[in-house]
Amino acid sequence: MRQVAAGEIGGLETIYDRYHTMAYALALRITAETGLAEDVVQDSFLGLWRNAGRYAEAKGSVRGWLLAIVRHRAIDAMRRQRAGIVLGEDADETLPASLTLPDIWPEVAGRLDAEQVRVALTVLPPAQREVIELAYFDGLTQREIADQTHAPLGTVKSRMRLGLVALREQLVAGDYATDRAAVPSSNGKKGVA
Amino acid sequence: MAMTCDRVREYAPGYVLGALDTDDMIAVNDHLAACTKPHPEIDDLGGVLPYLGESLEPVEPPAWLRQSVLAAARADLVSRRRAARVSEVPAEPVPAVAAVAAPVAAVAVRPTALSVVAGQGWQPETDVIPLARARFSRQHRIVTWTTRVAAAVAVVVLAGYALVLQGDLAKAQKIHQEDTNINYVLTQPDTRTAVMVATDGSKASGLAALRPSGNVILRLYDLTPTTGDQIYGVWVSSNNGTPTKVGSFPVDDSGTGYLEVDNVPTSANLWIFVCKEPNANVTKPTGPMIVSGTVSL
């Protein structure tokens, strides 16, 4: 990222080569349209390129940051498309604070592959997994999820919390408890268990 | 309702997923920005998100996308460097790049709706374009543009002059042709002539040539130019009868007038006179008479 921040194309090439399939998979999952997904991926890498100076390594991995950008832009693209807005007319360069959360488990990331993450997701109860996926991949709010699933809003909130907690526990297993205390939180304070 | 630490903890799952209503998202943001207490729940839950994206099967995008991304980045880099050069005091630092980026036009960038974004938020901590270099570049541009403007003005002036010359040439050719016509008529044995003299005290004068066939050529000099709809109307009258209009002509700054018409009714004594008429539609002499002459057959 330092290379990218210094305007070195080689740095962007490295990041692209490492994460492009992951970024494209996420964009395609959210947009369900290859052309739009390609636009989102290109825009996301350009967003990373242009905003590399803002990237703070202490707040997480490049992978997490890139995926947050891809997700944000893909959801934004879908909303614009639904609203009939031409894509790119008002592209927002900044990410909401909630989408620039730190990747707090870099050590975990090193030992988990995609298959293990998928397995962790499958152990979630379907209702919990559903609300998380509707929020993450479809960009729905809790209220919209409640409407779509015909579940009370309180139930949706509860499922979302339980699902995230369960998923975190699945992913971290026993490693998380010893790692997270050293990682700064999103508002600049140390996280505590 | 004011956002409290307890409420932030309650809202944390929806917040990290961006699934709260807008007002609540803003309220949580504001609280986190101002709160002095730790909120580890945000990181605890938010850290899950990258893995959600990673849980998907990787999908290989089209091969051209890589080139497109890199080309767009190069174009962005070139654009930023150019922007920095045109500014005497660069507002934004530009990255120090070892190799000059490829020209934008030389790289095929797949046009996408999302690819055009202004360079915002660029904050690399690297070199800037030296001020002296920026000044030199600016002076060079000024000289270049001054030269271009001067060249453009010269082209316009020359083009205008050429048009003037061209206009003069056309006018000379026209006068030459008119003189040729009247000289020819004057050399014909059956041609009758009339000397046209001023009747208004001016220096106007000229000559009228009349053929028995009814062909008349009139050449006048030292006329005052016509303006607007004004014309010089040519009238003929036989034996002091009712004047008949045979034609008209405008006069420019040269002061010369010329008219050649056929089928003019001839008679033993044909009076030809010219009046300066307000327009070409008059059916009888209206303006002041300028010159007149009589042809005796």
For residue range B106-136, what is the model confidence (pLDDT) as tens digits? 333 443 333 333 333 333 333 334 444 444 5
User: Rounded to whole angstroms, how far apart are CA atoms A19 and B66?
Assistant: 11
Contact at CB, A46 and B110, closer than 8 angstroms: no
More confident residue, A60 or B70: B70
Pick from B36, B54, B70, B109 the residue to mutate for testing the A interface (most A CBs within 10 Å). Answer: B54
Residue B256 has pLDDT above 70, yes or no: yes
Residue ranges covered by each domain of chain B = 5-54, 66-129, 130-185, 188-296
More confident residue, B147 or A96: B147
User: Rounded to whole angstroms, how far apart are CA atoms B196 and B235?
Assistant: 13
Strand pairing partners for B216?
Answer: B210, B261
B89 touches chain A (CB under 8 A): no
Q: CB count, 10 Å around CB of B12?
A: 24
Q: Residue B137's pLDDT is what?
A: 53
CATH architecture of the domain with range B188-296: Sandwich (2.60)
Contact at CB, A45 and B69, closer than 8 angstroms: yes
Residue closest to A187 by CA, chosen among B53, B1, B28, B17: B28
Residue closest to A46 by CA, chosen among B133, B96, B4, B66: B66
- In whole angstroms, what separates CA A56 from the centre of its chain? 16
Name the residue among B13, B29, B32 with its Cβ closest to that of A157. B13
Residue B4 has pLDDT above 50, yes or no: yes
A96 touches chain B (CB under 8 A): yes
Using a CB-CB cut-off of 8 Å, the residues of chain B touching A190 are 38
Of chain B, the percentage scoring pLDDT greater than 70 comes to: 78
Residue A89 has pLDDT above 80, yes or no: no
For B168-187, b where at least 16 C-beta lie within 10 A, e where not — what string? eeeeeeeeeebeebbeebee
H helix runs in chain B, sequence order? 5-16, 22-34, 40-46, 49-54, 64-86, 131-187
Residue type, A122: T
Quickly list DSSP for A89-100: TT---SPPGGGS
For residue range B168-219, what is the model confidence (pLDDT) as tens digits? 777 777 777 787 777 777 777 778 888 888 888 888 988 888 888 888 889 8
Please provide residue B153's backbone torsions phi and psi, each rounded to the nearest 5 degrees. -65, -40
pLDDT band for position A54 (cuts 50, 70, 90): confident
Using a CB-CB cut-off of 8 Å, the residues of chain B touching A151 are none
Strand pairing partners for B232?
Answer: B249, B276
**Average per-residue pLDDT for chain A:** 76
Asked if B83 contacts A7 with a C-beta cutoff of 8 angstroms, the reply is no
Q: Residue A91's pLDDT is what?
A: 45
Name the residue among B52, B69, B98 with its Cβ closest to that of A46. B69
A21 touches chain B (CB under 8 A): yes
Asked if B246 contacts B234 with a C-beta cutoff of 8 angstroms, the reply is yes
Using a CB-CB cut-off of 8 Å, the residues of chain A touching B16 are 98, 101, 164
Structure letter (DSSP) for residue A54: G
Q: Residue B232's pLDDT is what?
A: 94
Look at residue A153 and give its three-state secondary structure: helix
**Average per-residue pLDDT for chain B:** 77
Residue closest to B117 by CA, chosen among A82, A48, A74, A119: A48
Residue closest to B252 by CA, chosen among B165, B161, B174: B174
State which of A55-59, B39-43, B157-161 shows the largest mean pLDDT.
Answer: B39-43
Residue A145 has pLDDT above 90, yes or no: yes
**Residue A127, min C-alpha distance to chain B (Å):** 15
User: Residue length, chain A?
Assistant: 193
Look at residue A190 and give its three-state secondary structure: strand
Residue A142 has pLDDT above 80, yes or no: yes
Residue A35 has pLDDT above 60, yes or no: yes
Of chain B, the percentage scoring pLDDT greater than 90 comes to: 18
Q: Which helix (H) or strand (E) holds A172?
A: helix A153-172
Residues A16-30 have a mean pLDDT of 92
Q: Tokens in use for B154? A: 């010269």
Residues 6 or more apart whose CB falls under 8 angstroms from that of B3 comprise B27, B28, B30, B31
pLDDT band for position B276 (cuts 50, 70, 90): very high
User: Rounded to whole angstroms, how far apart are CA atoms A140 and A75?
Assistant: 9
B72 touches chain A (CB under 8 A): yes
Please provide residue B293's backbone torsions phi and psi, each rounded to the nearest 5 degrees. -165, 160
pTM for this prediction: 0.50
Contacting B residues, span 113-172, partner chain A, CB-CB under 8 Å: 113-117, 119-126
User: Rounded to whole angstroms, how far apart are CA atoms A82 and A74?
Assistant: 12
| Cα four-point dihedral sign A128, A134, A136, A139 | negative
For B91-102, b where at least 16 C-beta lie within 10 A, e where not — what string? eebbbebeeebe
ipTM value, please give it: 0.75
Asked if A25 contacts B58 with a C-beta cutoff of 8 angstroms, the reply is yes
Q: Residue A58's pLDDT is what?
A: 52
More confident residue, A77 or B81: A77
Using a CB-CB cut-off of 8 Å, the residues of chain B touching A180 are 40, 43-44, 47
Contact at CB, A142 and B114, closer than 8 angstroms: no
Using a CB-CB cut-off of 8 Å, the residues of chain A touching B62 are 38
For residue range A179-190, what is the model confidence (pLDDT) as tens digits? 333 333 344 333
**Residue A44, min C-alpha distance to chain B (Å):** 9
- Domains of chain A with bracketed CATH: 1-103 (1.10.1740.10), 104-193 (1.10.10.10)
Q: Residue A48's pLDDT is what?
A: 87
Residue closest to B136 by CA, chosen among B173, B62, B85, B184: B85
**Residue A113, min C-alpha distance to chain B (Å):** 8
Contacting A residues, span 32-61, partner chain B, CB-CB under 8 Å: 37-43, 45-47, 49-54, 60-61
Residue type, A145: I
Q: Residue A95's pLDDT is what?
A: 52
More confident residue, B129 or B64: B64
Please provide residue B296's backbone torsions phi and psi, each rounded to the nearest 5 degrees. -110, 115
Strand pairing partners for B257?
Answer: B220
**Residue A27, min C-alpha distance to chain B (Å):** 9
R_g (Cα) of chain B, nearest Å: 44
